[in-house]
Amino acid sequence: MSVVKFFSGAKVPLEMHKVRIVQKLNLVPVDRRLEAITEAGNNTFLLKNRDIFLDMLTDSGVNAMSDKQLAAMMECDDSYAGSETFPKLEAAIMDVFGMEYFLPAHQGRAAENIISKVFVSPGTIIPMNYHFTTSKAHIVLNGGLVEEIIIDEGLNVSSSYPFKGNLDTAKLEALVKKHGAKKIAFVRIETGTNLIGGQPHSLQNLREVRKVCDKHGLILVFDASLLADNLYFIKTREKACRNMSINEIAREIGDLCDIIYFSARKLGCARGGGICTRKKEYYMKMRELVTLYEGFLTYGGMSVREIEAIAVGLRETMDEDMISQGPLFIEFMVNELVANGVPVVTPPGGLGCHLDAMRFLPKVPQSEYPAGALATALFIAGGVRGMERGSISEQRDENGNEVYSNMELLRLAMPRRVFTLSQVKYAVDRIVWLYKNRDLVGGLSFIEEPKMLRFFFGKLKAKGDWQKKLVARFKKDFGDSL
Ligand code: F0G
């Protein structure tokens, strides 16, 4: 995305790509939107695509691919072992991270399974800037304990701090002192920290974390799923890195870490994943598990077409025009919402725009799931599908008590190169309308609540008839318009 000056002075992100393949969208009437969200048990995961206008659920596996990626997919070499395709991905990993060994996996969580099985044992501690749902689940499954040691500013929803994803190295030192280095399985850094709003860490922070790891002999594992956004933020927000190329930044990250894993549903704009390291010892430890759980070492559960696409996608990620598209669209959306007084996570991060449901709906208590309620209200208001990232995404404790999350967010993900700016403006318009009518929005309660992963499968109902009132207000304000 280019930073081109507009004569008018307006700050508009300018797409540095053209769109050659399109997919038709539907915008169904508001009555149908109410019906659809009711049929889905007020859970946006259970909506059908045909009822959705803008799908902002996730950026996972739904980013637009380039002409070069699609062309590469036609050239793939499909063989169980020794495929000609696989070395192309190994070479791309070497160019991007400077890491010699690469183990393929069918997606990010599969890499987490392998790493956790090899390095985590019961009673070990895994310090990290912040958890991601699947990363934590695999660590816990293997008996490990997650310790979140993000800087305090990281949990401040509304802030201007540029690197809210930084790990607090003083807290890391304190953990080592308390438990001893032997008890620490590895230190995990998640780049573009997902659950706190796609917030980046700085390169300087990673260097400092490495220093502590060196001092105590700790392994540093880096979740690079959201690396594209974080690279952009390092380049633009970290003064000392302004003159580094994107590839130089990525190579330094590679030099600082022992193991890098990623979801290629995000990084590389395809579908798949993998684990990289330059240490043969780690590679050998993980190798058998890859063949056991994923597939032979030259495909690891991925189609060779996707492997070709990842190899090209990783190289394309080294282009500032490519990686700036998400962050600049998100910044545009966040700034428009802030200008209209709508509470959102600031500063703008990567991944998506995150509405702060706690401040958006102050009258809806956490026991009635404000972020989940806001997700249904926005779907009714505009056919926009977001993802609840609040207490519904948590799990009850052993005694059946609710565990309330630190933040109640509605994540509106920005799949890269998928939406146009007018679609983003439409989403902003409907959010602003909803904010003006926020007093109409009430809470939700469970009607079907699975014990595990309730956010995927659970069904809820609106408390009272607030959703019908919202539809009536919509018709009054918008008339015949969809
Ligand atoms: N790590 C991070 C930081 C992620 O954001 C994800 C996935 C994973 C690991 C797991 O990767 O899905 O390929 O198995 N995040 C998706 C999302 C699901 O919607 O944010 P996966």
Distance CA 97, CA 451 (A): 40
Measured in angstroms, how far is the CA atom of residue 433 from the centroid of ligand 1? 31
Whether residue 3 is predicted with pLDDT greater than 70 in this model: the reply is no
> What is the phi-psi region of residue 197: left when phi exceeds 0, alpha when psi lies from -120 to 50, beta otherwise?
left
- Per-residue model confidence as pLDDT tens digits over 160-190: 999 999 999 999 999 999 999 999 999 999 9
- Report which DSSP code applies to 5: P
Distance CA 98, CA 114 (A): 22
Choosing from 199, 226, 263 the residue with most ligand 1 atoms within 8 A of its CB, the one to mutate for a pocket test is 263
Work out the average pLDDT over 374-384.
98
In b/e form, how buried is each residue of 108-117, taking b as 16+ CB within 10 angstroms?
bbbbbbbbbb
Share the mean pLDDT of the chain.
Answer: 96
Q: Band of the pLDDT at 453, cuts 50, 70, 90? A: confident
- Per-residue model confidence as pLDDT tens digits over 396-411: 998 999 999 989 999 9
Cβ neighbours of 436 (radius 10 Å): 14
Q: Describe the chain by its helix, strand, coil percentages, rounded to 5.
A: 45, 15, 40
What tokens appear for 273 in the block? 């994943």
Q: Which atom of ligand 1 is nearest to the CA of 351?
A: 20
The pLDDT of residue 406: 86
Of the candidates 465, 380, 434, 477, the residue with the CA atom closest to the CA atom of residue 31: 380
Q: Which atom of ligand 1 is nearest to the CA of 193?
A: 3
Single pTM value for the model:
0.96
Distance CA 376, CA 478 (A): 19
Whether residue 330 is predicted with pLDDT greater than 80 in this model: the reply is yes
Choosing from 55, 106, 115, 265 the residue with most ligand 1 atoms within 8 A of its CB, the one to mutate for a pocket test is 265
67-316 CATH choice from 3.40.640.10, 3.90.1150.110, 1.10.1740.10, 3.90.550.10: 3.40.640.10
Backbone φ, ψ for residue 163 (5° rounding):
-130, 65
The pLDDT of residue 468: 98
Distance CA 151, CA 130 (A): 10
Work out the average pLDDT over 424-438.
98
Whether residue 114 is predicted with pLDDT greater than 70 in this model: the reply is yes
Query: Any catalytic annotation for residue 455?
Result: yes
| 414 alpha carbon, distance to own chain's centre | 10
- Per-residue model confidence as pLDDT tens digits over 154-165: 999 999 999 999
Q: Which of 164, 271, 305, 389 is catalytic?
A: 389
Distance CA 467, CA 37 (A): 10
By alpha-carbon position, which residue is closest to atom 16 of ligand 1? 60
Question: Tokens 């400077």 — which residue?
Answer: 98
| 248 alpha carbon, distance to own chain's centre | 24
Among the ranges given (3-17, 319-333, 383-397), the one the predictor scored with the smallest mean pLDDT: 3-17
Measured in angstroms, how far is the CA atom of residue 263 from the centroid of ligand 1? 6
Measured in angstroms, how far is the CA atom of residue 247 from the centroid of ligand 1? 23
Whether residue 11 is predicted with pLDDT greater than 90 in this model: the reply is no
Work out the average pLDDT over 246-263.
98
By alpha-carbon position, which residue is closest to atom 9 of ligand 1? 108
Do the beta carbons of residue 250 and residue 234 sit within 8 Å?
no
The pLDDT of residue 2: 60
| 396 alpha carbon, distance to own chain's centre | 23
Q: Band of the pLDDT at 302, cuts 50, 70, 90? A: very high
Domain range annotation of the chain = 2-59+322-478, 67-316
Work out the average pLDDT over 297-304.
96
Measured in angstroms, how far is the CA atom of residue 40 from the centroid of ligand 1? 23
Measured in angstroms, how far is the CA atom of residue 154 from the centroid of ligand 1? 20
Query: Any catalytic annotation for residue 315?
Result: no
In b/e form, how buried is each residue of 380-400, taking b as 16+ CB within 10 angstroms?
bbbbbbbbbbbbbbebeeeee
Measured in angstroms, how far is the CA atom of residue 224 from the centroid of ligand 1? 10
Give burial (CB, 10 Å; 0-12/13-18/19+) of 352. buried
Whether residue 33 is predicted with pLDDT greater than 70 in this model: the reply is yes
List residues near ligand 1 (CB under 6 A). Answer: 58, 60, 107-109, 132, 134-135, 190, 194, 223, 225-226, 263, 265, 273
- Per-residue model confidence as pLDDT tens digits over 194-225: 999 999 999 999 999 999 999 999 999 999 99
Query: Any catalytic annotation for residue 101?
Result: no
Give the chain's radius of gyration (CA, Å). Answer: 22
Strand partners, 385: 55
Tell me how many degrees the CA angle 477-481-482 measures, rounded to the nearest 5. Answer: 105
Query: Any catalytic annotation for residue 78?
Result: no
Q: Which atom of ligand 1 is nearest to the CA of 112?
A: 9
Measured in angstroms, how far is the CA atom of residue 375 from the centroid of ligand 1? 20
The pLDDT of residue 265: 98
Query: Any catalytic annotation for residue 389?
Result: yes
By alpha-carbon position, which residue is closest to atom 1 of ligand 1? 225
The pLDDT of residue 452: 82
CA atoms in the 13 A half-sphere facing the CB of 54: 27
Distance CA 437, CA 422 (A): 23
Distance CA 276, CA 262 (A): 9
Q: How many residues does the chain have?
A: 482
What is the CATH architecture assignment of 2-59+322-478? Alpha-Beta Complex (3.90)
The pLDDT of residue 1: 58
Query: Any catalytic annotation for residue 262?
Result: no
Query: Any catalytic annotation for residue 261?
Result: no
Distance CA 191, CA 166 (A): 9
Q: Band of the pLDDT at 257, cuts 50, 70, 90? A: very high
Which of helix, strand or coil describes residue 220? strand
